[in-house]
Amino acid sequence: MRLLTLLVGSLLLVVAVVVALLLTPELGDVGGKPHEQFSTMASGGSGSARHANVLWLGGLFGAASLVFFVALMAFGARKGASLRGLGRPLAASLVICLAFWVWLLVSYARTMDGGTVSFFGALPGPSAIMLYGFFPVTILFNLLYVIGFNRWILTEEDYQEYKRLVAERRGRSA
């Protein structure tokens, strides 16, 4: 029941943030503008001009989405037993993702006014955090699935129970 509360609660939080965003006035070239020289390209213009009033609401959108994703994952784990074993690693992975998410936001906020940009791995700092930091840590969720499959997804007892159920069904229909 607590898991369902977390799932529905985080969904409603995402809905509330999206509604708030829909009601927030647009500033500057929100969705970019045509490139001055090349018609097949767009350009973003000033980051601070278009993101000034949505940066932290957008930050909340990203954070609430991550919580919702993790709630979905926990909701899909096996139902027969306590989630204590899975809860901690999932929560720890979520915290790491949120830390990288905040780092990405702060890094972008510092450079969106045109501040000095440092490069890492051929990308400017904020993009490098997104591609080489935030993205790889989200792979933790896939690894948790693989590592904990026999404990949190399908135990041997679950499988035996399943086989019994299938055999019983076949017996009934025969």
Partner 1 sequence: MNELRNPIILGSVVLYMILCIVVGLWAMRRTRSAKDFFMAGRELGIMITGIAIFSSTMSGFGFVGGPGLVYSLGMSSVWMVITVSTSYAAADFLLGKRLRLFAGAFDCISLPDAVAARYGSEATRFLTAIAILLGILGYLATQTLAMATVLQSILVGTGYFPAVSLITCVVISSSVLVFYCVTGGILASVYTDMFQGAVMVVGGFLVFLTTLYVFEGGATAAVATILSDDAEAAGPWGTLGMIGCLSWYFMFTVGAAGQPQILTKGMMIERVQNYRWVPLVTVLGYTLTALLWVSIGLVMRALVLAGAHPELASADAAAPAFLQQYAHPVLAGIVFAGLFAAIMSTADSFLNIGAAALVHDIPRALTGRSLTHELFWARIGTVAIAVFAALFALYSYYANARLVALLGAFGWGTFGAALVPVIGIGFNWKRATPLAASVAITISLVLNFTIEVFDIRLPHNIHGGTVALLASMTIFFLISFLSPPPVLDPDVEALMEI
Binding mask 34-53 for partner 1 (x = CB under 8 A): -x--xxxxxxxxxx--xx--
Binding mask 1-30 for partner 1 (x = CB under 8 A): ---x---x--xx-xx--x--xxxx-x---x
Site residues for partner 1, window 105-134 (CB under 8 A)? 108, 111-112, 114, 117, 119, 122-124, 126-127, 129-131, 134
Residue 83 contacts partner 1 per CB under 8 A: no
Residue 153 contacts partner 1 per CB under 8 A: yes
Mapping DSSP to helix (H, G, I), strand (E, B) and coil, where does residue 124 land?
strand
Half-sphere exposure at residue 86, Cβ-oriented, CA atoms within 13 angstroms: 28
The contacts of residue 29 (CB under 8 Å, 6+ apart) are 44, 45, 46, 49, 50
Residue 92 contacts partner 1 per CB under 8 A: no
Per DSSP, 54 falls in state T
Residue 162 contacts partner 1 per CB under 8 A: yes
Options 13, 65, 89, 96; binder of partner 1; rule CB under 8 A: 65
> How far is C-alpha 135 from the chain's CA centre?
10
Mapping DSSP to helix (H, G, I), strand (E, B) and coil, where does residue 74 land?
helix
